[in-house]
Amino acid sequence: MTAQIIKGAEIAKEIRAELKTKVDELKEKGITPGLFIIRVGEDPASVSYVTAKTKASEELGIMSETLVYPEDTKEDVILAKIEELNKDPKWNGMLVQLPLPKHIDEDKVLNLIDPRKDVDGFHPVNVGKLLIGDPYFMPCTPHGVQELLVRSGNDPSGKHVVVCGRSNIVGKPVMAILIQKKSGANATVTMVHTGTKNMSEITKQADIIIAAMGKAKAITADMVKDGVVVIDVGVNQVGTAADGKRILVGDTDFEAIKEKAKAITPVPGGVGPMTVTMLMMNTVRAAEMQAASKK
């Protein structure tokens, strides 16, 4: 058996085409979705992520603006800007790129964002609404995982999904998404983590494994059953190639597992392209919601 390779870039392209149609329809009604991004400092990864988000916005016709503050900017300045953006109807969605410098309280910053503009889906209100199955927005990477499963023909409904990792960014929210009694979910979900004993006994029962542990090749071929579907969220640098490019691997042993799996995502090129696309989806949804509330 050689696994189906679930190509995130192709699925993301399909979703973006759908979003472009929605953006065009909104513009015909005089509504241009707007996304405001705040970045503090020059962290290379943050610069790269924000650049990707800006590029995606431009391609879809979403109005975007990025405000870059120096590394030593005081917390009060960031908070004041967020309060201003909360009241500005021009911007449907906003996000503060993480991580922030250590002198700025991330929780205080994220909690100040209006939940109806929180297109990252990190506000406690959105986290709570996600758990009860009625979110304004779903967090981008977990939502991307769900879309990859459904659109690749691997619907999780009725399946045993094992989530490896309990982070607030991926593990917990993807569990909350997939246990809902809804289309594209309705799974039986088990979570394993660093405190789990005999982890392989549980992962071998999985019809679907979602690996988000932050450790290179943590899930090996002897830990999965034949015919499993694997979504690998991990991105780990394990070296540098001769041309200077980073050598990246996921949280699963891709080469070995693909010989047993029914389907698997590669790293890079799997989950990664979906995250920015889901951010665009949330921004368009924010514009639709806010337009509807004015009627």
- Return the ∠ at Cα 9 (arms to 62 and 58), rounded to 5°: 15
Burial class (CB in 10 A: 0-12, 13-18, 19+), 238: exposed
Q: Check if 290 is active-site.
A: no
Instruction: Determine phi and psi for 99, rounding to 5 degrees.
Output: -85, 160
Sheet holding 208-211, edge to edge: 4-5, 263-264, 229-232, 208-211, 160-164, 188-192
CB contact set of 113 (below 8 Å; sequence gap of 6+): 82, 86, 94, 95, 96, 123
97, 146, 180, 290: which one is catalytic? 97
Q: Check if 53 is active-site.
A: yes
Q: Check if 76 is active-site.
A: no
Strand (E) or helix (H) holding 96 = strand 93-96
- Return the ∠ at Cα 29 (arms to 24 and 31), rounded to 5°: 75
81, 117, 118, 120: which one is catalytic? 120
Q: Which of 249, 227, 211, 173 is nearest to 3 (CA)?
A: 227
Quote the crossing angle between the two packed helices 8-28 and 44-60, to the nearest 10°.
50
**Hey, which residues are catalytic here?**
53, 97, 120
